Amino acid sequence: MDRTRGRHGRPKRGHLRHDTGPRDRRRPRPLPATRRRRYRVAANNETRHDREREKQLMEYLETETLDDRHRLALRYFDMPVEWLDVDGLGVYVTGPRDSKHLHRGDATAALEHIEYYAPDSDSALVAMAKHLSRAGYAHRVINTRGYSQGEWLTGIAYLDATATGTPWEYAHGTLDAYLDEWTAWLWGDTYLLDIEQRVTYTAPGYDDIEQWHTVYEEDTSRVIATRKHYGAGYTLRDIAAHYGLDVSAYAPRESETV
């Protein structure tokens, strides 16, 4: 009589079908200490790398001293497209198809109709350009790439000069400026330029602590920049002047200049 099986021929609890030895019922052996240590170190390294990446995003890209208590600071800034001053800009994307970067304009319906009946994307862009020209839009064909192989976008951008009150001779220049900001937002080339003030905290029995805080006294204390101008000889003062950030009030006093 097989004592390892029940009434219906099934193995009893605690017995395996092919091997009923006691070792098969034991708990699995733990990993050796060296392997546990290796796995723990690998996990800690991944966590440390994540913290370093987050820290790099928070750190300043560049700072420039204005006076003994103020400075300009530039850092990365991920902003929504609604913050861009691109009123009247329309962007119709023809590729990639799953792109979510469609900035809809008042000509979107007509362009969708043209693309639907076009044999290919190149023919669609030619027909879209003709339609926009006849309708009085300034337009540019877009073919832009990001920083990796999978980041690319094609389409057409347009601007209704009449609706925005832009003279026609300046329409294409305005469109290029808008498109430059929109493309910078698209690939994450947006930066925040702040005027910061150094604040010193003191307490009896403790060392002084110095921290930098953004100046919020005026609405013009910070601007969103879409170009760093690195490698082109521009300073943060030049970028501030380009975007209308007035730093004249923080110029060093005569006694502080060398």
Query: Would the pLDDT of 54 be above 60?
Result: no
pLDDT tens string 91-116 = 888 888 666 556 677 788 899 899 99
- Please name which of 73, 99, 108, 120 lies closest in space to residue 225, comparing C-alpha atoms: 73
Of the candidate ranges 45-59, 108-122, 176-190, 214-228, the one whose mean pLDDT is the lowest = 45-59
> What are the residues whose beta carbons fall under 8 Å from the beta carbon of 19, sequence distance 6 or more?
none
* Amino acid (one-letter) located at 63: T
Structure-block tokens of residue 36:
């546990």
Structure-block tokens of residue 111:
């362009």
Handedness of CA 242, 246, 250, 253 (dihedral sign): positive
Question: What are all long-range contacts of 173-177, with beta carbons under 8 Å and residues at least 24 apart?
Answer: 174/138, 175/89, 175/138, 175/139, 175/140, 176/140
> What are the residues whose beta carbons fall under 8 Å from the beta carbon of 97, sequence distance 6 or more?
none
CB-count burial class (<10 Å; 0-12, 13-18, 19+) for 188: middle
Query: Would the pLDDT of 44 be above 80?
Result: no
Beta-bridge partner residues of 159: 89, 138
pLDDT tens string 167-181 = 889 999 999 988 888
Q: What is the pTM of this model?
A: 0.62
Q: In 10 A of CB 89, how many CB atoms?
A: 21
